[in-house]
Chains A and B, each alone.
Chain A
């Protein structure tokens, strides 16, 4: 994985020193909250309901065991024994004291981590497919490009005060696991007919109160032009993006209001000025970054087939976990493992200090020291020999992280909601927990099949509800929590925004409503192979509306 060079080390150390000084001055009363707020936000420090919150960057979701162990250490020493993995592949701590943050940042810097640009109107952590480098279906690892974008965007003087925050995602496979069409810029790494690498470029996707699917503005951008083209997009946005209204300031609104053709013309015109200048990436530089992401030396381990076969016979639960949480690797003797942070009835994305340490141990021992955070709030071991899968499974059972529910209804994305967040209007974690408990039977979940359920506790949509097969949005109405349900959303290569199905449900009703929706799907699907999203796209909302609201209409 990427290792800091001297410049990176100095840059991060300088920032730690700078922000530590700012914290000291704030605590001494030398600067006011109004002066300090933008400074703390630039360093990932928010104020939430109960305490400060520190959001730490995990670039493109890649970690090594030393880093994850440090996160466990921070959770134990400075926080309350746990952390929350986020949909930007980051981690946030919910209870740090402001006075401890300099020490936390120094600890992070010692393992090449930081909290820079995890907030503010700048280019945020660039996300990537969590199976990058391991997936059997990718044309190339997208992370070197995410790293190039990280280097370019870190304290970029022109793009540190954009109209609004800016999010970029990169995938290297046709099957989009990075939700690129919901991003300000989505990059799909692919090869052209000549076998050269480049990107399909999508612009103007986003969620929040105005969900938009990104538009493809270029089918093939040569890899050397990555930075000049992104600069052109950011320039057009920085110049014309609205600054008069926070809710209309994202690039999605600019693209929507300007029109795809015109925005494409503007970007291309800007790019003509830039493309042959100093932003053109030299081949040698790309390959140098590539080298950091060279896959581990995967020696053949053909004994895996037999080992897995025997272990399956021995343990039904291992067999089920294998079927649900383990995916094909580009090397036939290896697999990529999803470690579910969605234990039945648990808060989605939370991991304790000791769980983080134990997962770090497993990564070190069985997975070439490499880990990923997925945007679906799980952890990934991208390279595990099939021969070691049973040992990994046993280690995960010991720490309560072997729930075999990847991509099932209890594998819920959920924002922290009103239990923590100052912006939230309703709770989301308890809703996730109750739904998870209602569908606790993994046998029942498997019978239902792939179903992506996503919950947000306010219109900002951090829980990605717009693109959930089933989405739940919590709002406050007349002083009570009310949950609005959307159906038919999706965040893959066929991205769609869910449609509101009807009136919302109280917190006492919402789980029953979700069960009703699931039962309706089970009753109308053509067969077990027709997934929820496919069935919804075939039949539309009518049968679900009928199931949820017909009684009311008759009563009225």
Chain B
């Protein structure tokens, strides 16, 4: 399973494609379950890159357990949460992330 991720052009914020737009947290990211869905996400990413909305666009591996999207690689886990030595920074420091945790 894969989701589409990037960094927003204006401020570099890590974002994930969800519900027709770019969300600042991974929780509700659109999950591609097959090759066709991956291709669709990839095309969306290419368009957003071409439109100068985002940079560093990637499809990343995830798992979904109990409806929660979780990246497979540590690198992507850290992007989705924030620096592991600073729980007061990044997505993990946000109220909505705290509620989800």
Contact = CB atoms under 8 A, between A and B. Distances in A.
A430 B87 CA distance: 12
B83 interface: yes
B78 A49 contact: yes
A49 B79 contact: yes
A51 B7 contact: yes
A288 B10 CA distance: 44
A97 B11 CA distance: 4
Interface in A1-42: 26-27, 29, 32-33
Interface stretch (B27-35, B37-45, B47-55): B47-55
A220 interface: no
Given A98-B9, A98-B11, A476-B74, 11 more contacts: A29-B52, A33-B49, A47-B55, A50-B79, A50-B89, A51-B7, A51-B12, A52-B11, A97-B10, A347-B85, A418-B78
A419 B75 CA distance: 8
B47 to A, nearest CB: 13
B7 A419 contact: no
Contacts, number: 77
A429 interface: yes
20 contacts: A26-B52, A27-B52, A47-B7, A47-B12, A49-B14, A49-B75, A50-B14, A50-B90, A52-B11, A52-B12, A95-B12, A98-B11, A347-B85, A418-B74, A419-B78, A419-B84, A419-B85, A419-B86, A424-B75, A433-B85
Contacts of B74: 418, 427, 476, 479-481
A95 B11 CA distance: 8
A419 B12 contact: no
Contacts of A309: none
Interface residues of A, number: 31
B55 A50 contact: no
B13 interface: yes
Contacts of B7: 47, 51
Contacts of B72: 479
A301 interface: no
A80 B93 CA distance: 12
Interface string B1-29: 00000010111111000000000000000
A366 interface: no
Interface in B52-81: 52, 55-56, 72-75, 78-79
Contacts of A47: 7, 12, 55-56
A99 interface: yes
Nearest to A345: B85
A415 B74 CA distance: 17
Nearest to B72: A479
Given A33-B55, A49-B78, A52-B11, A429 B89 contact: no
A420 interface: yes
Contacts of A427: 74, 78, 84-85
A386 B16 CA distance: 56
Contact of B82 (A50, A347, A476, A479): A50
Interface of chain B, helix or strand or loop or mixed? loop
Interface of B: 7, 9-14, 49, 51-52, 55-56, 72-75, 78-79, 82-86, 89-90
Contacts of B73: 479
Contacts of B49: 33
Contacts of B12: 47-48, 50-52, 95-98
A98 B83 contact: no
B9 A27 contact: yes
B72 to A, nearest CB: 8
Contacts of B13: 50-51
B90 to A, nearest CB: 6
The 4 closest A-B CB pairs, nearest first, are A97-B11, A51-B12, A419-B83, A52-B12
Contacts of A48: 12
Contacts of B9: 26-27, 33, 98
A98 B52 CA distance: 13
Nearest to A480: B74
A479 to B, nearest CB: 7
A429 B82 contact: no
B33 to A, nearest CB: 21
A77 B37 CA distance: 42
A429 B49 CA distance: 32
Nearest to B93: A80
B7 to A, nearest CB: 6
A80 B11 contact: no
Nearest to B14: A50
Contacts of A418: 74-75, 78
